[in-house]
Amino acid sequence: MNVAGTDPRLEARLVARALAGEARAFEELVRRHLRSVHAVALGVLGNPADAEDVSQEAFLIALEKLEECRDPERFAAWLMRIVRNRALNFRESRSRREGEPLERAAEAAGGDDPAREAERLELRERLLAALAGLPESQREVVLLHDLEGWRHREIGELLGTSEGAVRVRLSEARRRLRAALGENEGGGQGGG
């Protein structure tokens, strides 16, 4: 998997340097994959704060287990599997204890223009709610493709499915997001 413009040979060199104890090499790997890692975690969890926690944990696990990366040219795929597994484990443990409402994610923002900040927060909440309403498989695909720029084939490899299935999930996810966001606009013109 050559994730979103990564160079497999460069990835392999960075892994080798990190294994040799060069901290800057691992920092570069983190910098290169931070957005994708967060997108995968967010796709599974649907909650930005939880996704951030899981992302940090996944990078720590990757650093601790870097010698277990058998194919350094496929570091990105190996890392994304760690993130996805960690997020799934997190979600399972969260479901065992009492959950918190998704809507209480952001309060007290303190921007320059309170009306504009309120609009931005409302839009963010609507988008998060619409994403949370998608099945996990669709949420992962839309975040990886539309937010991170992954190709259909790359997403299929990560999720263990075909490129065609990814295209179908993406199309359905976009349709559902449009419908959910359109419905939430409060009865404008036309239907959906």
Task: Report residue 3's pLDDT band, with 50, 70 and 90 as the boundaries.
Answer: low
Quick check: helix, strand or coil at residue 191?
coil
Q: Do 50 and 100 meet the contact criterion of CB atoms below 8 Å apart?
A: no
Kindly report which listed range (33-37, 83-87, 124-128, 149-153) carries the lowest average pLDDT score: 124-128
> What sign has the CA pseudo-torsion 170, 171, 176, 178?
positive
117 vs 164, higher pLDDT: 164
Structure tokens at 170: 């993406």
> What's the one-letter identity of residue 94?
R
Instruction: Indicate the Cα dihedral angle 100, 102, 104, 108, nearest 10°.
Output: 140
Residue 133 neighbours by CB under 8 Å, 6+ apart = 176, 180
Residue 65 neighbours by CB under 8 Å, 6+ apart = 82
Instruction: Indicate the Cα dihedral angle 162, 62, 74, 92, nearest 10°.
Output: -10
The pLDDT of residue 102 is 44
Mean pLDDT for the stretch of residues 111-130 = 76
pTM as predicted: 0.61
116 vs 81, higher pLDDT: 81
* pLDDT above 70 for 139: yes
H/E element, 60:
helix 48-64
Q: How many residues comprise the chain?
A: 192
* 113-192 placed in CATH 1.10.10.10: yes
* 147: DSSP letter: I
Segments making up each domain of the chain, as ranges: 1-100, 113-192
String of b and e for 52-66 (b: at least 16 CB within 10 Å)? ebbbbbbbebbeeeb
* pLDDT above 80 for 190: no
The pLDDT of residue 97 is 55
The pLDDT of residue 142 is 87
Distance CA 65, CA 130 (A): 36
* pLDDT above 60 for 13: yes
27 vs 178, higher pLDDT: 27
Mean pLDDT for the stretch of residues 61-84 = 93
Nearest residue to 141 (alpha-carbon basis) of 107, 118, 164, 112: 164
1-100 and 113-192 in the same fold: no
- pLDDT averaged over every residue in the chain: 82
* 1-100 placed in CATH 1.10.1740.10: yes
